[in-house]
Amino acid sequence: MPASRTYDVVVIGAGPSGSLCARNLAARGYHVLLAEKRPVVGVPVRCGEATGRRSRLSNFMKVNEAYIETDLNGVILNGPGGVSIRYDKEDIGLMIDRRLFDQDVARQAQAAGAELCVNTRIEGISPVKDGVRELAIVDEASKTASTITARLVVGADGVEALSGRWVGLKTRQLPPQVCSAIELRVDAMDVNPNHLTFWQGHDSINKGYVWVFPKLKSGVVNLGSGVLTPKLGEKNMYDLSMEYKNRLFPDAKVVEVHGGAVPVSGNLTEFVADRFVLCGDAAHHTNPLTGGGIISGILGGELASRWIDAGFRNGDLSRSFLVQYQVDCWEQFGKHHHRQMSIRDFVVELPLPTQTAFYRIFKDMVDADLSLPSKLVGYARMLGLAAGNWKAAKKAFIK
């Protein structure tokens, strides 16, 4: 149960994005409540657990070795027509243990002075009245209901976010732009323990990909698959993942199954309201090509905390001021996500032979270590390919 009845800021959801935002605001002296509906922060994990490189993470926090599973040294991408691209490069990213990671960030928030309340479920948010929003909360352990007030609410409640919908934002996961994913934790080790391995294309799964991410420290692999817009009666992702599991690790045991929806629409156009902001998965701050959202979620939380602080100092927490946070997000990663989405839409539109050709061009570039001449030649060939498939290109790039 929250200790107080009134707060400066209430953050809904103690994931990386919400916790980071709460940490920064608490460190600046605001009275912050971090409300988590689950009994334990970080459980259940619903993530492939691959993220960006150490140096990027250290922009936001002190990297704790406890949650680092694997230092990634490359990527293997299995495309259609037997084209396999292997890219080796030191320090391209990390595999982390999301349970420990989420708990670490939540602890940072607590250490900065934010009040973390687990088992605390927000049931509704009122419109702004007298400069505050009222929140209906339920203590899941004792099933008691109460209300608290906040001068500003941060919705970081992830992919199933309802907070945005309560205040009238259009945050629903709309079918063409949402991914259905599942992940099996398999008690085995991949032959390439420092590489991420992907399967994509018409030969495996076109509107999505299958992944194998090794967690070296724990000695398990995350094997999963995700697909855009599944149709009724199509093979579900669980069966597809099991197919790959039986092929790659026939004798290994599946320790855990988890899954969920991945928001892959690119940044929402509207994710702020009067005295309300969204960040992380709730604001669809996820890379639409890879589905990765840890770093962008954290960055979103960081930017949200900056603009909220600025808003408090200016005495203006209206939508018209907070819109600057939206613009900042677009500049910092939204643009990039939008471009990535175009590439994704182009690749999945291609028929099998052209898709194979696309992967061959990409392979030639990677095999030449992405040197400048190889890139120039590669881009020229890709332009040719796009010109030959102008319908797909037009659909993907000119929206």
Partner 1 sequence: MSAGPKKPNKTLLLDRETCISCAGCVGTCPDLALDMFGVDLQVFQDKCTYCTICVRFCPVGALSIVKGTPTSPIVA
- Residues near partner 1 (CB under 8 A) are 37-39, 44, 46, 121, 140, 159-162, 165, 171-173, 175, 178, 180-182, 229-232, 234, 236-238, 257-261, 263
Nearer Cβ to partner 1, position 148 or 262? 262
Q: How far is the CB of 60 from partner 1 (least distance, A)?
A: 26
Nearer Cβ to partner 1, position 79 or 297? 297
Nearer Cβ to partner 1, position 3 or 232? 232
Burial of 177 (0-12, 13-18, 19+ CB in 10 A): middle
Q: How far is the CB of 191 from partner 1 (least distance, A)?
A: 26
Nearer Cβ to partner 1, position 161 or 317? 161
Q: Strand, coil or helix: what is 184?
A: strand
Q: How far is the CB of 275 from partner 1 (least distance, A)?
A: 22
Q: How far is the CB of 250 from partner 1 (least distance, A)?
A: 21
Q: How far is the CB of 159 from partner 1 (least distance, A)?
A: 5
Q: How far is the CB of 256 from partner 1 (least distance, A)?
A: 9
Q: How many CB atoms lie within 10 A of CB 331?
A: 11
Alpha-carbon span 17 to 280, nearest angstrom:
5
Residue 96: name the closest of 118, 56, 69 by CA: 69
Alpha-carbon span 12 to 120, nearest angstrom:
9
Nearer Cβ to partner 1, position 189 or 242? 242
Taking the CA of residue 247 as centre, how many other CA atoms within 13 Å lie in the half-sphere pointing to its CB?
A: 10
Strands (E), the chain: 6-12, 32-35, 50-51, 68-78, 84-96, 115-117, 120-125, 133-139, 144-155, 178-186, 195-201, 205-215, 220-228, 254-263, 272-273, 276-278
DSSP character string of 297-337: HHHHHHHHHHHHHHHHHHT--SHHHHHHHHHHHIIIIIHHH
Q: How many CB atoms lie within 10 A of CB 236?
A: 14
Nearer Cβ to partner 1, position 80 or 266? 266
- Residue 170 and residue 294 in contact, taking contact as beta carbons nearer than 8 Å: no
Nearer Cβ to partner 1, position 139 or 309? 139
Nearer Cβ to partner 1, position 94 or 283? 283
Q: How far is the CB of 366 from partner 1 (least distance, A)?
A: 31
Alpha-carbon span 186 to 254, nearest angstrom:
5
Alpha-carbon span 387 to 252, nearest angstrom:
46
Nearer Cβ to partner 1, position 30 or 166? 166
Q: Which two tokens stand for residue 336?
A: 């990039």
Phi and psi torsions of 264, nearest 5°:
-125, 35
Q: How far is the CB of 186 from partner 1 (least distance, A)?
A: 15
Whole-angstrom CA distances from 18 to 66, 76, 226, 249 are: 21, 32, 25, 37
Phi and psi torsions of 110, nearest 5°:
-60, -45
Q: How far is the CB of 185 from partner 1 (least distance, A)?
A: 12
Q: How far is the CB of 167 from partner 1 (least distance, A)?
A: 14
Nearer Cβ to partner 1, position 24 or 171? 171
